[in-house]
Amino acid sequence: MAPVAIKEKIFNVGVVDWDIRDFHGYSTYKGTTYNAYLVVDDKITLFDTVKKPFKDDLLHNIHKITDPRNIDYLVVNHVEMDHSGSVPEIIEAIKPEKVFCSAMAKKALEAHYGSHPWPLEVVQNGQEISLGQRTVRFLETRMLHWPDSMFSYIPQDKLLISSDAFGQHWATSETFDDEVALTELLRHAAKYYANILMPYSALVQKLLAAVREMNLAVEMIAPDHGLIWRSRPDAILEAYDVWSQQKAQRKALIIYDTMWHSTEKMAHAVASGLAEEGVSYKLMNLKRNHRSDIVTEVLDTKALIFGSPTLNNGMLPTMADILCYLKGLKPTGKIGSAFGSYGWSGEAVKDIVRWMEEMKIEIVEPPIRVQYVPNHDVLAQCVELGRRIGRAVKERTA
């Protein structure tokens, strides 16, 4: 990826990671980018760095614009190592006058990389610095999604450098939102939000309110992952508003795994009941769907219906995996139930219900268990379970 001018004398000098396929359990099947931004002003300033294996690519990109030793300031908006992994080497290469970061970032940098005589300068929320023709205002965004996170806003360019917010894990040769299909871009952005920022939805709402109160003029949003929002920054701001409210559609997910197809038959019967009530649904077999793609669907779903047979006095490992992953993401306002077959003990459904209750998913219909293979009467019960949940979905999303 060559440097790309995103504004006059402002460049994306980051790199594309075409090969990454997993990000802490999140399936990055289309890769990602590590964006870094170089502002050429009286004080040449680099905003963020890149993952350590790509440090030479970053320096090579900077070289195409200026000698890295000409850089005066480094801004560390976020210390997670996909953005700060090359900080020690970059500081050694450019020898900046100052390294700006939040108070929490200073602690995190020292925790990650040890104590160094770096020219760290802690900035406060709302503080501004001058680059010459431009100023930078720092906006603290704690827990979006690390304690150290902050945004950098350049009012003269109406540019918001947004760290991990508003990004996507998507490797492309394109740089801007208007160079790709908006629907696909928003799908990647939704997956990113669901798997990374959903636990902090209340804080996202507060941040959006604060941005409105400050009346910031935002013409372009430049995240640290994925494409830059230059034509439709309003689209991603509106999407974050909806996602952070966790507004649900008339939609249900049947998330299941099966051993000898008995639980699978029950899943399809539940789906029939939902269809009869006119509720949108998706059957998501845990052998065929990655946890992070399931969670993306959870984002706007009202009902979650889980199915698993019993294995060794418990649920299948795939079901334990998705429940553990989902619990950490803290979805809110969900309803649902559970179902499954068993041979001689039948604990799986009970275990699933316990996890659902811990996640505050309201059990609106009693779960269904069947020994061995479901007969016509049991499948009829599953259809009725789907109908009842479908009616509850319609009542609660009216």
357 is known as an active-site residue: no
80 is known as an active-site residue: yes
Q: Which of 26, 192, 200, 342 is catalytic?
A: 192
Residue 267 tokens read as 């899943």
Q: How far is the C-alpha of 348 from the C-alpha of 199, rounded, in Å? A: 26
| Cis, peptide link before residue 112, omega less than 30° from 0 | no
177 is known as an active-site residue: no
145 is known as an active-site residue: yes
Residue 241 tokens read as 């508003």
Q: Which of 34, 78, 188, 297 is catalytic?
A: 78
Q: Which of 83, 169, 188, 225 is catalytic?
A: 225
| Residue matched to tokens 């689209």 | 235
225 is known as an active-site residue: yes
268 is known as an active-site residue: no
Q: Which of 83, 145, 169, 188 is catalytic?
A: 145
22 is known as an active-site residue: no
- Let me know how many helices (H) and strands (E) the chain has, helices first: 12, 24
CA distances from 349 to 243, 295, 361 (A): 30, 20, 15
Written as one string, the DSSP assignment of 151-191 is: EEEEGGGTEEE-TTTT------S--BGGGS-HHHHHHHHHH
Q: Which of 48, 157, 164, 224 is catalytic?
A: 164
| Residue matched to tokens 């929490």 | 104
Beta bridge partners of 256: 285, 307
Q: How far is the C-alpha of 158 from the C-alpha of 215, rounded, in Å? A: 11
240 is known as an active-site residue: no
Q: Which of 19, 24, 213, 376 is catalytic?
A: 24
Q: Which of 82, 140, 351, 365 is catalytic?
A: 82
Q: Which of 60, 72, 80, 347 is catalytic?
A: 80
Return the active site residues: 24, 78, 80, 82, 145, 164, 192, 225
